[in-house]
Structure 1
Amino acid sequence: MEIDLKAFAERSRYRPASAALFVMSYIALAGIFAGVPSWLCFLIAAAAWIALATITLHRLRDSGLSGAWILLMILKFGVGPDWHLSDYVTMDIGGSILACVPIILGWIFPAKHNGSYSSSAN
């Protein structure tokens, strides 16, 4: 079964998919408090975050923005307070907010105009 991730480049499809993946990644990390092994929570959250970065890249390209915004999602910035989920998993609150900037841009910016206006005035 093949999934076409370019279909999420449309803003109407990107918004619910990005929200679902974002929430899924943080619920997976919160599973540590429920006794789920930290490695399993990390794998689920990492898979969701990779899928979110992929559809965000397609969305940013569709809106005419640079794909370099994805670096904010990939690189880790240790800004702000830390939240220690377990001995092995630590989340930086400020770094998480910076990682959301490309997602917010994908929600806001409309699709790039392709330049083909059709004149209906004759």
Structure 2
Amino acid sequence: MNLKTWIAAALLIVPGAALAAEPIEGTWKTASGETAAIAKCGGSFCITLKTGKFAGKRIGKLEGAGADYTGSITDPAADKTYSGSGSVSGNSLKMKGCVLKVLCKSQTWSRL
């Protein structure tokens, strides 16, 4: 293949990769059964509980793009905030919160 063909192929592949990115925005069912909404807030994504005892409480803020996000996650029952991350895979969102990046808990949420 010549150089022009390689460039044309690369230009076709790159937009396709961007379209394949899985958005974190949307409504999710948490591991405990509540509903959480993830929406843009400034340059980040805010996580707000929509149902349950803590409905209306913002429980996280993540930054990132594609399928991987990092930021902070709050346990609403204990009212403690941890460093956190989220990873989207299809209709699943694996959320992880850590203390000192050593003691971590994770749970998987489902897209509604």
**Which one has the bigger helix percentage?**
1
TM-score in terms of structure 2 length: 0.29
TM-score (norm. length: structure 1): 0.27
More strand by share: 2
